[in-house]
Amino acid sequence: MVEVETTVGAAVPAVRIEKLVKDFSVPFRREKLRAVGGISLEMAAGEVYGLIGPNGSGKSTTMKVLLGLIAATSGRTEIFGVSSGKVSSRREVGYLPENPYFYKHLSGAETLRFYGRLCGLRGRELKARIGELLELVSLEDAADRRLGGYSKGMLQRIGLAQALIQEPRLVVLDEPTAGVDPAGSRKIRDLVLEMKGRGISVILCSHLLEQVQEVCDRVGIIHRGQLVKEGALEDLINIEEQTDIVLENAPPELLEEIRAKVDGSGARLVRMGHPRTTLERLFLRETGGEEGRERGGE
């Protein structure tokens, strides 16, 4: 298990973005396209932060600036107190881009070895780390198979493993479940929860709002390059004036009694009925879950 240092993280935020602006030049046109228009946010170490927004809202651009892949037009971005412009800021970061394609000629183990060596890992330490990560993403059986033969879900998982290779304190996941079937998607969600359990800070950019809701501590909503809403998930989605009561095996008489009491109390009964499962849970139950399905390849 990875021991995460929290001494530094307690004082320094994992991510700090201040008044970030990013303009792109448009060929043959004088005016520029503003992709990000003054976003500021701060993310504490160990937190899982969901960045959600429609296509083209500026999520990926914000992440690219944070990772130093593109330069900000103005504003400042930092990772654990180090400016994103510095290469050293990337020592603490793992990144999984949207729809990643790794080198198809390499096997899963070779891919992790390549990224591990780029991060300075060597010898037994690297070998042990590769084994640990392959187990974590359930790809031990496909370790020696070339990535050209991997399914989309397997590619995303090996991508997640490469993001974690140097035991980063921050992981940035850009649409990690895009194009992945529900079983693979659930597996990736479980891995995010596992990272959270290890104290790794995670930024999750996703369209799948249900998934963001399940794993994130805080959420930011980006629209047209602006952070329109931001805060702790519970604060954002709680409906303070309503209360859920879920009963199991309640007889009809009890339900009638509750209804009558509610009517006489001045409160309003908004809804009473059978709760529903989600389509995802139904799918997983009917298809036998995700375990083992992709282990040997699809």
Partner 1 sequence: MGSLGRIWVLSGATFTQLVRMKTFYFLLIFCGLVALAGSLNIMAYNAEQQMKLVKDVSLGAMSLFASIFGIVATAMLIPRDMEDRTLYTILAKPVPRVEYLIGKLLGVLMVIAVSLAAMHIFFSVVLYARQEMLLADDMAMMAERADLSEEDVQNYAERVREQGVTWNLVNATGAIFMKSCVVTASAMVISTVATTSLFTIIVSILVFFIGHVQALARTYWVDVEGGGVVAKLFSALVALVFPDYQLFNVIDGVVSGEWIPFGAMLKLAGLTAFYVGIYTVVAYLVFAEKEL
Interaction site with partner 1 (CB under 8 A): 24, 64, 67-71, 87-88, 90-91, 93-103, 105-106, 114-115, 117-120, 122, 159, 162-163, 166, 172
CB of 258 to partner 1, least distance (A): 55
CB of 94 to partner 1, least distance (A): 8
Per-residue b/e over 17-55, b at no fewer than 16 CB within 10 Å? beebbbbeeeeeeeeeebbbbebebebebbbbbbbbbee
CB of 293 to partner 1, least distance (A): 26
3-state secondary structure of 132: helix
Q: In terms of residues, how long is the chain?
A: 298
- Looking at the Cβ atoms of 49 and 102, the one nearer to partner 1 is 102
- Burial label for 132, CB within 10 Å (0-12, 13-18, 19+), is middle
CB of 141 to partner 1, least distance (A): 22
- Looking at the Cβ atoms of 49 and 115, the one nearer to partner 1 is 115
3-state secondary structure of 114: helix
3-state secondary structure of 72: coil
Of 70, 87, 75, 89, the closest CA to residue 25 belongs to 70
- Looking at the Cβ atoms of 28 and 239, the one nearer to partner 1 is 28
- Looking at the Cβ atoms of 161 and 216, the one nearer to partner 1 is 161
Tokens of 293: 């399905």
- Looking at the Cβ atoms of 79 and 183, the one nearer to partner 1 is 79
- Looking at the Cβ atoms of 45 and 79, the one nearer to partner 1 is 79
CB of 23 to partner 1, least distance (A): 11
CB of 40 to partner 1, least distance (A): 22
User: Distance between CA 144 and CA 250 in Å, rounded?
Assistant: 54
For residue 244, the tally of other CB atoms under 10 A from its CB is 8
User: Distance between CA 67 and CA 65 in Å, rounded?
Assistant: 5
